[in-house]
Structure 1
Amino acid sequence: MSRLWENSQPAAGDRLRTLLRDRNGAVAVIFAFATLPMVLLIGGAVDYSRAIGARSNLQQALDAGVLSAAVKGGNPDSGQLARYLNSNMSPGGAATNVTLTRSVATGGAVTFVGDADFSVATNFLKMAGLGAIKLHSHSEATLPAQIVTATFKPTSAQGAYSKDIFIWTKNAAGTVVSRQTVLTYRYNSSNGSKVTTPAIGSWSLTFTVPLYSTFGVGMVVYQDWQKYSGALVNPVELWSDAANASTFMRQSGLCTDDAGATYNWEDGGDGNFVDFVYTMKCATGVAAKTVARLSK
């Protein structure tokens, strides 16, 4: 009996192998459950990396499209922008909800605003129920406003020195790129005549102001100090951006105000700042050849 009982029991080695098989199965199940989050984590990083690349492409294409629309001007065309985006982005989907709008701010600055959506299909995150990563891009391009025209009305002018009033523009390097004479005062000692062009109280022609980095006014004083005859000799130029401008020019108001700006000039005589007085009125807008810039 004792022998028969011993034979009916599994050998110790068999019991160990059975136990190991049971444990291996449990470990496999546990490993499978533990691996899934790792796969989602690593795969999710891959999916998001693809999404970041797609968003970069979308943003670059949107910036270029909005800039192009701003340069061309005119009415915005959302459909044209959508076609541009989809022809300049990597394959894998199409931009949606593409809009392009145009607005004009007080002062004349023009801004084009573009928005677009894009979806990137996922390879790994879809196992967690996220089938696509949705993206959105926004871009704005602005054509800055500046003074584009200026008109002048002389109020008074006096003295034995003839004078010219001019407007000037400079580029970013400080180089003068344009200069226009807008008012003149002529004195003639032989008959005592004093002639202002245009006449006192009359508006001048409207002058076009070209594209500029800085803009201002100036006066040329012909200092005929030997004869005081009003001859156009010994010209001295006075510029509104000079460090000592306050010694020869005073300004009240802005030329873009409804009433314009009033300028009082001193030609170097008695210091009363009434040797040339005039009003300047300006209109603002987008000048020709203005470069559009991304603002957002």
Structure 2
Amino acid sequence: MTRPLSFFSRLIDNRDGAVAIIVILVAVPLLLAVGASIDFIRAYNDRVDLQSAADSAVLAAAAKYEHGMPEARISGTVNAFLSANGTLKTAVIGKPEVSSDEAELCLDVGDAVPTTFMQVANIQSLPISVRSCAALPGVKQLEIALVLDVSSSMIEENRFAPMQTAVAGFLQAFSSNASLVDKTKISIVPFSSRINIGMANTTWLKSYNGAAAVPKRWTDPKSVYTSSSYKLGYWIDGITPVMSTSKNYYWMGCIEPRADVEVRDAGAIGAYGMSDAPPTTSAFVAMDANPKSGTSFCPPPVTPLTGDFAYLKNAVKSLTSEGSTRLDAGVVAGWYTLSPKWQGVWGDKSSPAPVSDSVQKVMVFMTDGEMNTKYDPNDKFDWICSQTQSSACNQVATSAMQSACTAMKKSGIEIYTLSYSADADVVNIRNCATNSAHFFTASPATIKTVYDAIAAAIRGNTLRLTQ
């Protein structure tokens, strides 16, 4: 009886058997290679997840960092975050590293991904490791000027109260952040027809056009507003008066824009009109010196930089709305509160910091309108229109505004702009911004969301991944 051939013997005897052997010999390593690639893909995906978790953990720790914080507290935040995200099961977390200048926090995290196919080759796991670094906001000082259009259209079109709510939320975003609150100062700059320097700063004024440096209307408003329909009140600073009726507010303390005075004097805007020069370099002129603007509506006073968030919130709550729209005046006044040239001018506690890598200066400029100069000499009249007594004067003032925006950006000030109406001058408001991503549009229904987004963007510039 013939013994049956084995499987391999039959393959050898069979002409096709040799091919089958080759296929088998090639298939085994090919299958191992495919399996290994699957294991490596799994390891790569796990590494991506680990990097994301580490990034989130280091940002969370950076947000809570305080000067000289012990390593154990930093690790506690990191571990709590990674544990909550299910990352601590097998991961090995390195010691948090704070740079010597406390500008950056770094973290190394490692893990091992179990293999499946590669176990055939006795490879039980693949090691993965990530490194994540974040800037520490605790060493970044923030100075923010909130420039707010309070012209008549804001109240007439029911935009005023939503704006106040939105700005209050913006302030809350910084006052409630433990790592930023002590490093943040904010100014409130209301503007309409003019800007108001407040009665605490009357030494900044000079006599002009035959008028006293400090008008009697400011120091003795009852002598001018004699009707019983007027009620005397004061700004939250306790010294800047307002005479109000059931419909109107007449604040004391407004100045003529420097550009207007220069045009009246020399026929063109000069060296100081749209600059950040302090009053010690170029004194201001009271609004009353221009008899055609002395009766224009005046907004409440500028609140210079302060970290007193209760005072800031009270200032926003106490704002009133009246007057036309001089965008250029608002932009320049915002610059006054941020420029290092004004150190000591607003008072020591409100002094803008010198420009440095540790200071971030930001202006957030909001308006619901377009430039509205007064160019009729028979009515209210802005001196900036002395050479162009027509609607073309608006372009003169708008060009001046843009020159100030450009100079501010060159000086290192970041500018966000917000168009709060379909009637606003969107093109020029956008051009004033640092870039298109710093320009926003809003309505009464969305303005709070927009201010929240801007606050998040500013905080994000101080709290960010660096690796």
With normalisation by structure 2, the TM-score equals: 0.35
Tell me what 1:187 maps to: none
Against the structure 1 CA distance between its residues 33 and 83, is the aligned structure 2 distance closer, same or farther, given a 3 Å change threshold? farther
Secondary structure in 2 matching 1:294? coil
Secondary structure in 2 matching 1:58? helix
Q: What is the aligned-residue RMSD (CA, Å)?
A: 4.7
Match of 2:281, as an amino acid? W
Alignment of 1:1-296 (within 5 A): 22-23=13-14, 26-73=18-65, 74-77=69-72, 79-80=75-76, 81-82=78-79, 84-89=81-86, 94-103=90-99, 105=101, 110-144=103-137, 145-147=139-141, 169-170=144-145, 210-211=184-185, 220=197, 222=205, 225=208, 226-231=210-215, 232=218, 235-236=255-256, 246-247=271-272, 265-267=281-283, 280=344, 282=353, 290=459, 292-296=463-467
Where is the strand percentage greater, Structure 1 or Structure 2? 1
| CA displacement 1:86-116 (0-9 Å, x = unmatched) | 552469x6111422122363xxx64221111
Report how far residue 209 of structure 1 moved. Answer: 7.3
Unaligned runs of 5+ in 2: 150-166, 169-181, 190-194, 198-203, 219-252, 260-268, 286-340, 345-350, 361-455
- Is residue 94–residue 108 contact of structure 2 (8 Å, CA) maintained in 1? yes
Report how far residue 134 of structure 1 moved. Answer: 1.5
Runs of 4+ in 1 over 6 A off after TM superposition: 283-287
Match of 2:212, as an amino acid? Y
Report how far residue 135 of structure 1 moved. Answer: 1.0
2: CA distance, partners of 1:29 / 1:41: 19
Secondary structure in 2 matching 1:94? coil
Q: Which has the larger radius of gyration?
A: 1
Secondary structure in 2 matching 1:139? strand
Instruction: Count residues with an aligned counterpart.
Output: 203
Match of 2:13, as an amino acid? D
2: CA distance, partners of 1:250 / 1:33: 81
**Percent identity over paired residues:** 20
